[in-house]
Amino acid sequence: MQDLHSLNGTYVDGRRIAPGQPVPLEDGACLGFGHPEGYVLVDGGPPIPHAIDEAPPHEVVEAIDGRLSLPHPRTPEVVVRRHDDRWCLERGRERSMVENGDVVPAGSRSWRLRLPEWLSSTLDVANASGAPPTLASVSLCLVTTEVGDELQSIIVSHGSQSTQVPPRAYHRPLLPLARARREDPTPLEEDRGWVEQSTLRRELGYTTSRLHVEIHRLRREFAAIGIIDAHMVVERRPHTRNLRLGIGQVEIRTASDPRG
């Protein structure tokens, strides 16, 4: 949230914020425009891609983890997802580009696509050129405790800008995935760092459901700080149960490292 030198002021959680000074927001924040209260931020995440059935009662299907599956997530005939900064429709082995407002047949019905434009976050993590950050252009530093090898903080860098992310319980999968990618000697980038889901679950002591929930939260968090392809921060290899960290530039260091 940033107040653009308004006359009556902008408030976050009851306090008037300084003009021109960006203030990070969390879900549940109380926002006021001209007075201390008035609105509550329910969800600070990006808009969700979805499709609407053209026929009554106009059923709505939303994307899950960046993948819009039609006519239903459990029985997909087509999948719409982001690819190379464009929306791509996959039907079996066929692939075509689609745009917001296109109508797609699936499951004997016609679906109108609602595909949001991917914009950078108001938290400015762009580099000097102003280009929005992508997974290919950011680097990730995981700072661990010296004792216990637990995540203490995460630093996301893009150009000359860095954003420190406080640790959350759902960050745990990042560390083993980062190590797998960093330590894999495979020469080809597309083959490096893949971990079978069952291996990752055993290492973390997770159920399948918990792993999926935490990966979903990770993707949403990276989207909230402005990374336009954050739905791939933990990517799944097609036609397998293998996962890997979608960020190639990764560093792991302890909190006692003087660089920290």
pLDDT bin (cut points 50, 70, 90) of residue 199 is: very high
| 101: helix, strand or coil | coil
CA 103/CA 112 separation, integer angstroms: 4
Q: Between 148 and 216, whose confidence is greater? A: 216
pLDDT in tens, 155-194: 998 877 888 887 888 999 999 999 999 999 988 888 999 9
Q: Six-digit token pair at 18?
A: 């300084």
Residues 6+ apart with CB under 8 A from 210: none
pLDDT in tens, 44-85: 767 789 999 999 999 999 998 889 999 999 999 999 998 767
Mean residue pLDDT of the chain comes to 86
Q: What is the reported pTM?
A: 0.52
Mean of the pLDDT values across residues 132-136? 80
pLDDT in tens, 5-22: 788 889 999 999 987 677
| 154: helix, strand or coil | strand
pLDDT bin (cut points 50, 70, 90) of residue 121 is: very low
User: If you compute the radius of gyration of the chain from its CA atoms, what whole number of angstroms results?
Assistant: 20
In the DSSP assignment, the letter for residue 48 is P
Map out the domains of the chain as residue ranges: 10-40, 50-114, 139-254
Q: What percent of the chain has pLDDT over 70?
A: 90
pLDDT on residue 20: 67
pLDDT beyond 50 at 123: no
CA 22/CA 100 separation, integer angstroms: 31
